[in-house]
Amino acid sequence: MQTNQAKDVRAVLVRHARRAAQLDGSSTIEAEHVLLGLAELEGSTTARLLAEAGLSRDEIKAALDREWEQSLAVAGVRIEVGQLPTPSPDPARRPRIGESAMRSLKRAMDNASALGGGRIGAAHMLLGVLDAKLGRVARALDLAGIDRAALRARVATAAEQGDH
Amino acid sequence: MEIAQVADPADPGAGLAAVVALRRLADRLEDSQVEQAMRAGWSWSEVAEVLGVTRQAVHKKHARRLIAAGVALRRR
């Protein structure tokens, strides 16, 4: 039962993350899409901890857009990305796992074995995403003023208790 | 634009993040502008010529998406 539930969560997460990548026009599932997928795991402790930290799905999207705008500004491009025309998504495209998502998965597995508690769960995945010091997610969360260390501690506690 | 800002040796991370942001912008613009051109009745060959790629490349990358979106496509 436990195993089936864990499998279900993984399937749902992959579906959410892939959908987030599709809507983003991305050919790959990246760490930010995994984070968006985790925020969409309704009724889960992981999604609740994210929301309590100010990281609902919409808040994550806004933070990612601000990171995009700020990084464009470094190159002298000043635009509101919300004003960009939205291309039609490709419903048949199946984004593959990208490099940053692979790194997150690797870190999630490291966390799962370090914290015990058996199989890899949503909280481990979130730890894997949060443990990246570099990249879009880290920059976006820092810009949004998120206390990553405090959030990480709460998620680690939940993971230790097997509460995903 | 402050070129020095891009090349700021004190913060290489910001310069690298700018590269990622520009790629994202170029990808987003390619998707939306190819769609706009095809909706305006451009041919694949014309779009390919402006983008500096082969007709096959632009077709392979965008045809399925635009057909799904219901855009009426010219054959050539």
Length of chain B: 76
> pLDDT, tens digit, for every residue of A10-64?
888 899 999 999 999 999 999 999 999 999 999 999 999 999 999 999 999 999 9
- Distance (Å) of CA B31 to CA A32, A33, B23: 20, 19, 12
Q: Taking chain B, what is the end-to-end CA distance rounded to the nearest angstrom?
A: 40
A139 touches chain B (CB under 8 A): yes
| A74, A77, A87 ranked by CB distance to B31: nearest | A87
Q: Tell me whether residues B21 and A68 touch, CB distance under 8 A.
A: yes
pLDDT at A1: 41
B64 touches chain A (CB under 8 A): yes
**CA–CA gap between residue A120 and residue A162 (Å, rounded):** 10
Check residue B69 and report its DSSP letter. T
B25 touches chain A (CB under 8 A): yes
pLDDT at A92: 85
Domain residue spans in chain A? 2-160
Domain residue spans in chain B? 19-76
Q: Tell me whether residues A92 and B15 touch, CB distance under 8 A.
A: no
| A67, A85, A91 ranked by CB distance to B32: nearest | A85
ipTM: 0.89
Residue by residue, what is the 3-state secondary structure of B8-62?
CCCCHHHHHHHHHHHHHHHHHHHHHHHHHHHHCCCCHHHHHHHHCCCHHHHHHHH
B15: nearest CA partner in chain A:
A74
Q: From 1.10.1780.10, 2.40.30.30, 3.40.50.150, 2.50.20.10, which CATH number describes the A2-160 domain? A: 1.10.1780.10
